[in-house]
Amino acid sequence: MSVGQFFAILLVVTIWGANFTVIKLGLGEMPPILLSSLRFAFAALPAVFFLPRPRCHWKYVVGFGVVLGCIKFSLLFLGMDLGLSAGISSLVLQLQAFFTLLLGIFLLGEKVGPHRVVAMLVAFMGVGLLLFVSDGSITAIGLALVIAAAAAWGLANIIMKKAGSVQMLSFVVWASLVPPIPLFILSMITEERANLAMLPDQISWIGIGAILYLAYPVTLLGFAIWGRLLSTLPVGLVAPFTLLVPIVGMATSALVLDEDFGPIKIIAALLVMTGLLINVFGGKLIQRFSAKKRDLSRI
């Protein structure tokens, strides 16, 4: 890995981690489902005219757009709007790694090693501990919705895996064509603040900046760089850097939104991060330990 590639990874991690604070700021200007609709509209247009269609069946593009765009992000935005803080949202959403594993077992017949079972138990213990936070930054409904968003993200990962080897940015941009209209209609029906005619008078530069940030740096720039890195470097070298996303997310929330991290939150975060670390590195450590044990038995 070159120095340039290393800093490119850190740039993407920072963009994705700060994303949660930007979402929280955007939710102060407009309702969650409308924000999600506008985010995908800007992400798809005009980029879709400049990127080739992904080389896979349309059902995967549409399915990914429905699950990731319509379901996952709506649940995430709703959960944050209903009381879950930006920092904790960035942490809880990383449960998607474990939901992907569980869905892989049932839908793809994949096998899970014992270290992954331990990782899941540790991480979910950390999330359960968040229910004991009483500073007003966590609500049961908000936490449940973001956990559901993580599950939806796990399903979206399975859909992308079934799509095969596709260019990541093209796949995400073309899938972004799916959510805007259904989400806009849903917003008009269910959200009192969703009035586009009045929005220009209600929204400030913060709201506009939030939409643009979610659409362009987070989606287009982030996935363009990430896809390039995955195509030029081993996945096992790049993927573990996503562990930094919740760390950046919590730090950004603390700096910008003055989110307080008391002892319960810190312990919960350590448990979730420990679970993620076990999930990523546990298999390799077990293999090394087994190899050393075999070598010692031959002496």
Tens-digit pLDDT profile for residues 104-161: 888 888 877 888 888 889 998 989 888 888 778 889 999 999 999 999 999 998 998 8
Report the predicted TM-score, pTM, of the whole model to 2 decimal places: 0.88
φ and ψ at residue 198, rounded to 5 degrees: -95, -10
ω into 46 cis (within 30 of 0): yes
Question: Which pair of tokens denotes residue 232?
Answer: 């030029």
pLDDT at site 63: 95
Q: What is the pLDDT of residue 42?
A: 94
Taking each helix axis as running N to C, give the angle between helix 32-44 and helix 205-213, from 0 to 180 degrees, rounded to the nearest 10: 50
For residue 211, what pLDDT is reported?
93
| Amino acid letter for position 203 | I
First to last CA, the chain: 37
Q: Residues 162, 61: contact at Cβ < 8 Å? A: no
Task: Please give the torsion angle defined by the CA atoms of residues 169, 173, 174 and 178, in that order, rounded to the nearest 10 degrees.
Answer: 140
**pLDDT beneath 70: ranges in the chain:** 193-201, 236, 285-299
The CA distances from residue 181 to 28, 41, 216, in Å, are 22, 8, 19
The whole domain housing 29 covers 3-298
Q: What is the largest CA-CA distance in the chain?
A: 79
For 89-102, the pLDDT digits (tens) are 999 999 988 888 88
Q: In the chain, how many domains are there?
A: 1
